[in-house]
Chain A
């Protein structure tokens, strides 16, 4: 845990020392420290809402403080979704500034659009962080890479020590490529449980071309899901 806090502290320091980059320098998910209170969460996040286990945000909230309006999950934690402030991104989009748009990124982790959520206990203490790749409004070509975020997240916490297993096979699933990826990896680091799920495959009935040869470029599953939770 201390290591994770150290990473967070370093990143905060780093951000403070950073030059003023277009759209950069705002808070990110890595500024959130497990064990901190709501009041210690970095400002600058927007669009707070009840989480849906990594899915699309639910009921809108005015801030993290309203977390008890959300229904707790099975382990008693409240999931609150949020977004990065994307005003600058819209400005760049309006000005057709391609690089500024790329630098702004939106709510992304390592370049991948995500739905980020914090997991709070009943006392408003941050006990976990959840990141799930966000397919909304993403071109199939970019969505096809979403599973790769899992690899990057695993490497962020060190390639060693992960225990991986295939997810239960669903009837009819087929490889989307020369490989099929459906795995869950977990690792424990100083009292924090990390888990990464990566999936890239065709669900039953999906394929890139139909029986008549028509192209169906968007028919595939590609996603990654990351959780870090304090052991309690």
Chain B
């Protein structure tokens, strides 16, 4: 029998005093860290209440990537050092896709770290023993297509690690031994189907979003019975015969409405609207699906019939305003606007530009459409995003598929991306890695400056914005320590003031980072973990620091903590 989200809530509501005592006992027992407990639906519902752990890809069901840990804070961040790093293979050993940086994010439960590499090899590490390998499972994806886009991470369910492999499988691994217990084929790789986003476990369901737009795949979201592996429902994300609407980031879940909410990417072909006349529903959209029935309850399309190649497969967040009966669904859109929608029905609330100088549309109307939108048009009369001598506005490498963060401490949402709208007043580019640098180190450097934006999700007002020398394609992590952590593509980890976005501390790894860090706590000490390595952007780099060339093929999990 499946445990549904409503049943989970029912269980919570009827919890008795003895059960509470048991719960406290359980908490103390798990904090001792000697034995990892099962990851129950209730634990996932209350993931934010276990700040010592990082139980799901986006941290919690609201997608906030926020931790209430404050052991590392503005006052002591300068004492951060690498406590240990774990080499988990290299390109030559086959630890990753040949081209891409490694986008995966680890999970942490009760002192153990779970991480997947670019081939789908899963490792369990002991955080109390400086990342000592407990087990590695390398049998899941042998001889895999090296050109698959690497998956973003894992999920936890019961006593299983749930791993999605790029060839369309979901695997159940025994959390204690790493042995593969069950595998299920969700989609057909011959039809371009692949899985890039981490699975999302809700109750006894595993929700899987499909990738593969680059291979013409038609996007879909599936629910798999976590106990049996059987298919429960699936929702197609586009009726475009040429495909698209695929997914590269995990969805979120709202326990109050029972909806799981996912962003979809561009329609195919991405840059040729004449070949796909009409709105291209439900590409470039956010879809809210009843997690029990698979019913598509509501949808909202950011740029109907897009002509600019926008792709809205970045993360969504659920922000719960005090006293409100439903969350606000927020999204840093690839079209340069920050959106807010009602959680129950997806009604449009706000759209405010977070990139200065947008011109592809004159604005967003009261229905949430670009004002130029015509429902009957085969090709919309939006402006092209490449015009007037600007490099690219909004940036084609902007907020697409990055993981945003939200801090209840500041009540701000943090979105990462790349600017492309600045045509003047571009700050002087300085980089420690290029002393005496005389030429462009990055093709189209002006269009590839990293940008982190802090937005008030209620009003859409930009409260702070920060530019970086290198692209910021990772996303963000917000903490109660008054910090926002992010990484820039050339391999710098930044700890920023969560109100001003000014640098509090940073360190350079000397290799690429394409994923935001996570944080966890072991035996009362807070740590920051981030994956370093990969080959993304290599083709674009016209200047490459020597140390980067040496370390590119690595795949390393770096774990940082405060210097004693």
Residues of A within 8 A of B (CB): 11, 14-15, 17-22, 24-25, 28, 30, 92, 95-100, 102-103, 105, 110-111, 139-141, 144-145, 148-149, 151-152, 155-156, 159, 175-179, 181, 208-209, 213-215, 217
Stretch at the interface among B265-273, B291-299, B429-437: B265-273
Residues in A whose Cβ lies below 8 Å from that of B146:
208, 217
Residue of A nearest to B448 (CB): A98
Which chain A positions have C-beta within 8 A of B384?
20-22, 24, 99-100, 103
B145 touches A176 (CB 8 A): yes
A-B contact pairs, 5 of them (CB 8 A): A97-B392, A139-B99, A156-B241, A177-B144, A178-B167
* Other-chain contact of A144, B145, B167, B379, B444 (Cβ < 8 Å): B145
Which residues in A have their C-beta under 8 angstroms from that of B307?
19, 21, 24
Cβ contacts B487-502/A at 8 Å (1 or 0 each): 0000000000000000
**Beyond A95-B389, A149-B216, A209-B92: 6 further Cβ-contacts under 8 Å?**
A14-B277, A97-B392, A103-B309, A110-B216, A152-B243, A177-B143
Task: Find out whether the CB atom of A110 lies under 8 angstroms from the CB atom of B269.
Answer: yes
Nearest-neighbour CB distance to chain A for B172, whole angstroms, equals: 18
Q: Which of A22, A141, A152, A214 contacts B216 (CB 8 A)?
A: A152
Bound complex: CA A23 to CA B145 (Å)? 34
Taking a contact as CB atoms under 8 Å apart, the answer to whether B396 and A102 are in contact is: yes
Q: How far is the CA of A19 from the CA of B381 in the complex (A)?
A: 6
In the assembled complex, the CB of A82 is this many whole angstroms from the nearest CB of chain B, namely 18
CB <8 Å contact, B391 and A178 = no
B13 within 8 A of A: no
- Chain A residue with Cβ nearest B276: A110
Q: Do A148 and B381 form a contact, CB below 8 Å, given A99-B396, A141-B98, A215-B92?
A: no
In the assembled complex, the CB of A163 is this many whole angstroms from the nearest CB of chain B, namely 16
Q: Which residues on the A side are within 8 Å of B33 (C-beta)?
A: none
Query: With an 8 A cutoff between CB atoms, is B339 at the interface?
Result: no
Nearest CB of A to B140, in Å: 11
Chain B residues whose CB sits within 8 angstroms of the CB of A140 once the complex forms? 98, 147
Given contacts A111-B271, A155-B241, A178-B167, contact A215 B379 (CB under 8 A): no
Contact call A110/B144, Cβ cutoff below 8 A? no
Docked-complex contact B242 and A152, CB < 8 angstroms:
yes
Q: A175-B143, A178-B145, A213-B93 are in contact. Are A22 and B242 (CB under 8 A)?
A: no
In contact, A139 and B241 (Cβ under 8 angstroms):
no
- B99 proximity list for chain A (CB < 8 A): 139, 141
Min CB gap A69→B, angstroms: 32
Please list the 10 inter-chain residue pairs (A to B) with the smallest Cβ-Cβ separation, ordered nearest first: A177-B145, A100-B386, A144-B147, A148-B215, A96-B444, A155-B241, A99-B386, A178-B167, A148-B216, A22-B384
Contact B147 A141 (CB under 8 A): yes
Minimum CB–CB distance for A183 against chain B, Å: 9
> What A residues does B392 contact at CB under 8 A?
97-100
Contact surface of B with A, Cβ cutoff 8 Å: 91-94, 98-99, 141, 143-148, 167, 189-192, 214-216, 241-243, 268-275, 277, 307-309, 378-382, 384-387, 389-392, 395-397, 420, 443-444, 446-447, 539
With contacts A11-B274, A14-B379, A140-B98 taken as known, whether A178 is within 8 angstroms of B144 at the C-beta atoms is: yes
Asked if residues A103 and B386 are in contact (CB atoms below 8 Å), the reply is: yes
Q: Kindly list chain B residues whose C-beta atoms are within 8 Å of the C-beta of A20.
A: 384
A217 and B447 CA atoms in complex are apart in Å by 29
Indicate if the CB atoms of B396 and A215 lie closer than 8 Å.
no
A15 touches B214 (CB 8 A): no
Question: A19-B381, A98-B391 given as contacts; is B190 within 8 A of A152 (CB)?
Answer: no
Residue pair B147, A110 in contact (C-beta under 8 Å): no
The CA-CA distance from A147 to B205 in the complex, in Å, is 34
Contact A148 B145 (CB under 8 A): no
Nearest chain B residue, comparing its CB with the CB of A156: B241
Residue of B nearest to A92 (CB): B386
Note all chain B residues with C-beta closer than 8 A to A22.
384, 386-387
Residues of B within 8 A of A152 (CB): 216, 241-243, 268
B268 A110 Cβ-Cβ under 8 A: yes
- A22–chain B nearest beta-carbon distance, Å: 4
In contact, A111 and B443 (Cβ under 8 angstroms):
no
Query: Which residues of chain B are within 8 angstroms of A102 by Cβ–Cβ distance?
Result: 270-271, 309, 396
B397–A110 touching, CB < 8 Å:
no
B167: which A residues are within 8 A, CB to CB?
Answer: 177-179
Give Cα A107 to B402, complex, Å: 31
Known: A98-B444, A110-B242, A177-B148. A14 touches B378 (CB 8 A): yes
Min C-beta distance of B63 to chain A, whole Å: 28
Pair B190/A179 contact, Cβ less than 8 Å = yes
Q: Which among B274, B380, B389 has the greatest number of chain A C-beta atoms within 10 A?
A: B274
Report whether B272 and A145 are in contact in the complex, using a CB–CB cutoff of 8 Å.
Answer: no
- Chain A nearest CB: distance from B166 CB in Å? 9
Assembled-state Cα–Cα distance A95/B269 (Å): 24
Q: In the assembled complex, how far is the CB of residue B560 from the closest CB belonging to chain A, in whole angstroms?
A: 30
- Contact of B378 with A96 in the complex, beta carbons under 8 Å: no
- Distance in angstroms from B370 CB to nearest chain A CB is 13
| A232 nearest CB across to chain B (Å) | 29
Closest residue to A159 on the B side, CB-wise? B241
